C-alpha cells in the first residue's frame, strides 16, 4: 500500500491541464487508477462494467461519483475515458490520506476483474460508512487500542485473534470467539492496577476468561498504532481480515484518528511486562453479595500479588482463542 501512496505523492508535482486529473495505473490492478485533485487530494478512478444508475455519495470527507467520463493525463498522454467511478478524499491530513489509500487498495484486491457498478456501489458504501466514523467520539483511548493491537501483533495466530476482536459493538470483552474470552488491561502507573467492571470478571459458566495485563509508557521513540497495524497486516494473508483490522481501528478512534501518529508507546516495555491471569485468581466481588438495586459496578484491582498463568498449570489445549495467543 505504501507503493500506491508514493505514486499519489509523485502525481502532486505534475502539471495538468484545466479539467484534467493527473493519474497513474495501480500496479496490482492496472484497469484502475489513482490520481490527484487540483487541491492535492487523493482520488481513485475505478473501472466498472454496465450502465446501471447509482446515487452518488457525499460525506464530510468522502465523495463517490458513479459512471463518469474522466479526463486523465497519464504518462504525458491526455485521454477521455468512460465508465469510471471516482472515489475521492477531501482533506490534506496525511494520516487520513494514507489510511484512505490503504482501505481502497484492500477493496481493489477484493474486487473481481469485471466488477459491475452495483457490486462496486455495495463495496464503496462500506468505505463511506467507515469514514463516517471520523466525525464520531472515540470509544476508547489511544493507549487502550494500542495494547489490543500489540496483543494481536504478538499472537501465534493473529488471524484467529483478529476474527475474535470486537465481534459486536456492545461486546463486554475485547476478544470473544463465541466460547472463551480475553480482556486486555493496560496501565502507565508504577503498579499493576486495573479498572474492572463486575461483569468483566463474571463470564458465563461455560466460558474461560483470561486477563492480559501490560505496562505501557508513552515515548517519542516507540511504535504508533499505525506501526502495529502495518506489522499485523504483513502477517495476515486474508484481505477481508485486513479490511476488518482497518475497520475496527477507525470505528474505535473516531475523531481521535488524526492523533494516531502523535502518540507512540515503548514496544519493548510492553513486551517485557505482558502477563496473563486466570480471572478466577483475581480478587472480585461475589455477584450474590450485590444488592439487586445496584448496577454498573466498577472497581480497581491490584494484580501485583496475583499468580500469573505461567506460574500455575493452565490447560490451553481446549481453547482455540488461548492457543492463538503468545502466552
- Per residue in 230-242, pLDDT tens? 999 999 999 889 9
Residue 2 has pLDDT above 70, yes or no: yes
Residue 167 has pLDDT above 80, yes or no: no
Q: Could you report the per-residue pLDDT of 38-77, keeping only the tens digit for each?
A: 899 999 999 988 777 788 988 888 999 998 888 898 888 8
**What is the reported pLDDT for 169?**
60
| C-alpha cell recorded at residue 94 | 496525511
**What is the reported pLDDT for 202?**
83
Model pTM score: 0.83
Residue 182 has pLDDT above 90, yes or no: yes
**Phi, psi at residue 279, to the nearest 5°?**
-60, -25
Q: Could you report the per-residue pLDDT of 254-270, keeping only the tens digit for each?
A: 888 888 888 999 999 99
Amino acid at each position: 500500500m505504501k507503493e500506491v501512496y508514493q505514486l499519489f505523492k509523485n502525481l502532486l508535482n505534475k502539471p495538468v491541464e484545466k479539467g484534467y486529473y493527473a493519474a497513474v495505473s495501480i500496479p496490482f490492478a492496472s484497469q484502475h487508477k489513482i490520481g490527484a485533485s487540483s487541491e492535492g487530494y487523493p482520488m481513485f478512478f475505478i473501472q466498472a462494467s454496465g450502465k446501471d444508475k447509482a446515487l452518488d455519495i457525499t460525506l464530510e470527507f468522502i465523495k463517490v461519483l458513479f459512471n463518469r467520463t474522466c479526463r486523465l493525463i497519464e504518462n504525458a498522454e491526455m485521454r477521455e475515458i468512460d465508465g469510471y467511478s471516482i472515489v475521492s478524499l477531501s482533506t490534506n491530513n496525511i494520516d487520513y490520506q494514507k489510511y484512505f489509500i490503504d482501505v481502497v487498495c484492500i477493496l481493489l484486491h477484493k474486487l473481481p476483474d469485471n466488477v459491475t457498478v452495483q457490486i462496486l456501489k455495495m463495496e464503496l458504501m462500506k468505505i463511506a460508512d467507515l469514514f463516517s466514523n471520523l466525525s464520531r467520539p472515540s470509544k476508547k483511548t489511544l493507549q487502550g487500542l494500542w495494547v489490543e493491537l500489540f496483543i494481536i501483533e504478538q499472537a501465534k495466530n493473529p488471524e484467529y485473534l483478529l476474527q475474535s476482536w470486537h465481534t459486536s459493538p456492545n461486546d463486554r470483552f475485547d476478544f470473544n470467539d463465541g466460547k472463551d474470552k480475553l480482556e486486555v488491561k493496560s496501565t502507565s502507573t508504577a503498579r499493576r492496577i486495573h479498572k474492572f467492571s463486575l461483569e468483566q470478571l463474571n463470564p458465563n459458566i461455560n466460558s474461560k476468561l483470561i486477563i492480559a495485563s501490560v505496562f505501557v509508557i508513552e515515548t517519542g521513540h516507540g511504535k504508533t498504532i499505525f506501526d502495529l497495524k502495518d506489522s499485523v497486516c504483513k502477517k495476515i494473508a486474508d484481505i477481508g481480515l485486513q479490511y476488518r483490522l482497518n475497520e475496527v481501528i477507525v470505528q474505535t478512534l473516531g475523531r481521535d484518528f488524526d492523533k494516531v501518529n502523535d502518540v507512540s508507546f515503548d514496544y519493548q516495555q510492553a513486551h517485557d511486562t505482558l502477563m496473563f491471569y486466570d480471572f478466577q485468581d483475581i480478587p472480585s466481588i461475589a455477584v450474590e453479595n450485590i444488592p439487586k438495586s445496584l448496577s454498573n459496578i466498577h472497581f480497581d484491582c491490584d494484580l501485583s500479588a496475583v499468580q500469573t498463568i505461567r506460574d500455575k498449570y493452565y490447560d490451553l489445549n481446549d481453547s482455540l482463542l488461548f492457543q492463538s495467543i503468545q502466552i
